[in-house]
């Protein structure tokens, strides 16, 4: 169902490169699929579902910029046992974020159940000299992709 709604939205908004005026169909699509929501704002305002918590990612995607990392993340996000951070966090490569600590980092993650894998993607980690050591210090067994 979601696939059909997203397809209809894309068809309506990307026909011949011209966006469609807001109308009842577009508003229905937005509300049912959650389009145009800023996920990171959504996470902070979201009521915590019972049995969930914000967890440090178990997997981090560190591929190069323009190397398909966003596409990979979006494909993984389709799986019900995977939840993904909404934005590139830049925790391990930007000193100003790293000094905020793990609690700040965790607060940017989506709520997840214990059986779900939390994934974060920041291609900047690939070129950062300090990111690998910082990631290892956080979790020496974390999966890097």
Active-site positions read 66
CB count within 10 Å of CB 127 equals 11
What's the token pair of residue 139? 């979790």
Helix, strand, coil shares of the chain as percentages rounded to 5? 45, 10, 45
Burial of 34-68, coded b for 16+ CB within 10 Å and e otherwise, reads eeeeeebeebeeeeeeeeeebbbbbbbbbbeeeee
- The sign of the CA dihedral 12, 17, 21, 26 is positive
Please report which residue ranges of 17-68 form alpha helices under DSSP H: 24-33, 39-45
Q: Which residues are annotated as a binding site for 3'-phosphoadenylyl sulfate?
A: 66-70
Q: Which residues are annotated as a binding site?
A: 66-70
């Amino acid at each position: 169902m979601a696939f059909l709604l997203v397809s209809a939205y894309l068809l309506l908004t990307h026909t011949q490169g011209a966006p469609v005026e807001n109308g009842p169909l577009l508003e229905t699509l937005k509300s049912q699929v959650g389009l145009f929501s800023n996920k990171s704002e959504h996470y902070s305002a979201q009521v915590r579902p019972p049995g969930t918590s914000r967890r440090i990612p178990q997997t981090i995607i560190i591929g190069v910029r323009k190397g398909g990392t966003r596409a990979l993340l979006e494909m993984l996000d389709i799986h019900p046992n995977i939840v993904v951070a909404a934005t590139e966090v830049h925790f391990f490569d930007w000193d100003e974020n790293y000094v905020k600590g793990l609690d700040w980092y965790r607060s940017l993650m989506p709520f997840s159940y214990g059986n779900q894998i939390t994934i974060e993607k920041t291609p900047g980690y690939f070129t950062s000299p300090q990111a690998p050591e910082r990631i290892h210090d956080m979790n020496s067994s974390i999966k890097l992709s």
